[in-house]
Amino acid sequence: MTGPAWIPAHLLAVSVCAGLACANFARPHAVALIGSAAAGAAFVVVDTPAARLGLAALLLFACGWWWGGLRLDTLDRSPMSAKVGEAGRATVVVTAPPTQGQFGIRAQGALRRFERDPLGEPVLLELPLGRSPPLGAVLDVLARVDLPRGPSNGFDERTWLRRHGVHVVLRVDEWQQIGRRGGLGGVADRLHGWLERDSAFGLSGERRAIVDAVVLGDAQGLDDTLLQRFQASGLYHVLAVDGLKVSAVAGGAVALAFVLGAGRYVAELAAVAAVAGYVLAVGARPSVVRAALAAALVSLAWLTARQRDRWQALLVAAAALLAWNPYYVFDAGFQLSFAAVASIFVVAPWVSGKLDGYPVPHGLAQLIGVSTACGLATAPVTWFQFHQISLVTVPANVVGVPVVAEMLGVALLTAVLAPAAPPLAAALGQVNGVGARFLGWWARLTGGLPYAQVTSPRAAAAVALCGALAAYAWWRCRMS
């Protein structure tokens, strides 16, 4: 939408988000309820549009604050915390792919029963080295209940887990699989297993690990040195599932529907279905859910013949995520995702527009604009969260992102063809192997350049000062 018509909807969405976020700093349930009631009563009485809009915003703020407090109370509740130090038999479900470390295997789990008590809450499983349980497995374990590790080397694991609803660790001595989960979780497990098995059909070693990371966001198969190069180059996001990949899945579904002769309605529905299946397969992470909700809202707007509003879709996605877990405000993935998308809306068109008149192809100009916008917006977040800033992120992403988009499309096509046409799938897998090899080489090259990454406070301050001086100089040139 354009013009004043968009202002009320955006203001109301921002009010909900602000109320949900405020619950992290105070949870005055009674005050929020009283505020909601007062704003609602006043809304009925007043008759001027501006006053009604202000009261509606206040009402939604208070409701968001109240709901956010309730959700945080639920997330902070942990019956298992009273059993810290105890040992016993438990029934748990593995809810995320296990990761193998130097000293053991870790996996997210959902507790179903401890001893004879039916207790349901998320837990962190720590298993001995050896065979890993499959995703979705129902395990019978003998375990001791402990607290997560506290602050160490700048990372507070206990706080991070608590913000995701996990309060205890089950240190497993022995386990056996007694079943698999069903329902929607079981569907997600089968989709994940299918992509893990067939998207890198015929590949092995580092090439397979890179394809798995691109498709599923699972980078545990890569060695630490290569991961550091991805971080230093600003390409680490391509090893996670983000809005770029969700958009690529939706676009691929639309293109396939058109190739098969389907109309636009069917194409939009196919995009929604493809995104939903992809989210189930890779897991509902903040960046994935944000992109999926935005894509679904855009498709719904088209199907209902309403004008699309990307800002409103972004705000609604933020409100939905914060309504589920207000702690997401502190999550690095949430911050990076929304900062990057907002910057793409504002900065990317300006940067690409400045390249008009230069011998730069339109597609390359758009890519430079997006890479610059993301680099500028995410730099403060990466410094605050990880104490590092990549200085080569724009050129690294201008080259790397198109390769990743092509790799994702080929990998998904490979997974579709593998059950019916293994030779063709193997050929496509080898093509993707070339892309994986190039992506690894490009990350090593750009991430290994001198001063590719800033990690000291003085260097970060110098970079910020240079950026501010450059912006001021450009503004002065524009004004003169």
pLDDT of residue 40: 63
Q: What percent of the chain has pLDDT over 90?
A: 40
- Is the predicted pLDDT of residue 4 greater than 60, yes or no? no
- For 90-120, how does the pLDDT look when each residue is reduced to its tens digit (9 = 90+)? 999 999 888 887 788 999 999 999 988 888 8
User: What is the per-residue pLDDT across 210-248, written as a single tens digit (0 to 9) for each?
Assistant: 999 999 888 888 888 999 999 999 998 888 887 778 878
Q: 394: which 2 tokens?
A: 């724009």
**Using CA atoms, how far apart are residues 374 and 13, in angstroms rounded to an integer?**
23
CATH of domain 79-181: 2.40.50.140
> Which one has a higher pLDDT value, 281 or 53?
281
User: Region 456-465: what's the mean pLDDT?
Assistant: 76
b vs e for 423-439, b when ≥16 Cβ sit within 10 Å of the residue's Cβ? eebeebbeebbebbeeb
pLDDT at residue 55 tops 50: yes
At 2, the pLDDT band (50, 70, 90 cuts) reads very low
Q: What's the whole-number average pLDDT of the chain?
A: 85
pLDDT recorded at residue 1: 38
First to last CA, the chain: 34
Domains of the chain: which residue ranges?
3-76, 79-181, 192-454
Q: What is the pLDDT of residue 3?
A: 40
Segment 279-307 mean pLDDT: 70
Q: Which of 49-53, 188-192, 476-480 has the highest mean pLDDT?
A: 188-192
Task: Determine the pLDDT at residue 418.
Answer: 92
Pick the residue with more confidence: 416 or 466?
Answer: 416
Calculate mean pLDDT across residues 136-151.
93
Please check the confidence at residue 38 and state whether its pLDDT lies above 80. Answer: no
Over the stretch 157-185, which tens digit does the pLDDT of each residue have?
A: 999 999 999 999 999 999 999 999 988 88
Predicted local confidence at residue 439, as pLDDT: 95
